[in-house]
Structure 1
């Protein structure tokens, strides 16, 4: 389940990135940041499931930073 969510979010992020690059519109960037944060959280949970706690903590920290930046820049 986590793997499918991770792959699905990755595909959405890639498509939004390509769309943003090809159209030169930066409207999708805030959505990309939110989706990247969610993807990093899902990756953190999968690392916890594999019992790799240091990597999970790192991923959660990066996800919190990305989500903080996304919220800060959206207001």
Structure 2
């Protein structure tokens, strides 16, 4: 398992590289690497705690259920093709 300290050291390394390099492409590559490392850190789950939802995302559990039939007064059956 990757520790947060290892992730932070790698993020710091890429941040220093981005600050010291004036090349736009190299800076973008460092920023992409930092983003990937942050994603890895946020995806790692601590066994004793529930997963943390990132901002902008909702967590929901979808359970298999029976499909609900529409009840219409003038319908002849449960099929879409029953008129």
8 A contact 1:16–1:32 mirrored in 2: yes
Q: Which has the higher contact order (CA 8 A, sep 6+)?
A: 1
What is the alpha-carbon distance in structure 2 between the residues aligned to residue 8 and residue 57 of structure 1? Answer: 20
What is the aligned counterpart of 2:11 among 5, 10, 13?
13
What is the alpha-carbon distance in structure 2 between the residues aligned to residue 37 and residue 11 of structure 1? Answer: 15
What is the aligned counterpart of 2:30 among 28, 31, 42?
28
Q: Any unmatched runs of 5+ in structure 1?
A: 65-75
Alignment of 1:1-75 (within 5 A): 1=1, 5-24=3-22, 25-26=26-27, 27-42=29-44, 45-46=45-46, 49=48, 51=49, 53=50, 56-58=51-53, 61-62=54-55
8 A contact 1:17–1:32 mirrored in 2: yes
Q: Any unmatched runs of 5+ in structure 2?
A: 58-83
What is the alpha-carbon distance in structure 1 between the residues aligned to residue 10 and residue 52 of structure 2? Answer: 24
Structure-1-length-normalised TM-score: 0.53
User: Which has the larger helix fraction?
Assistant: 1
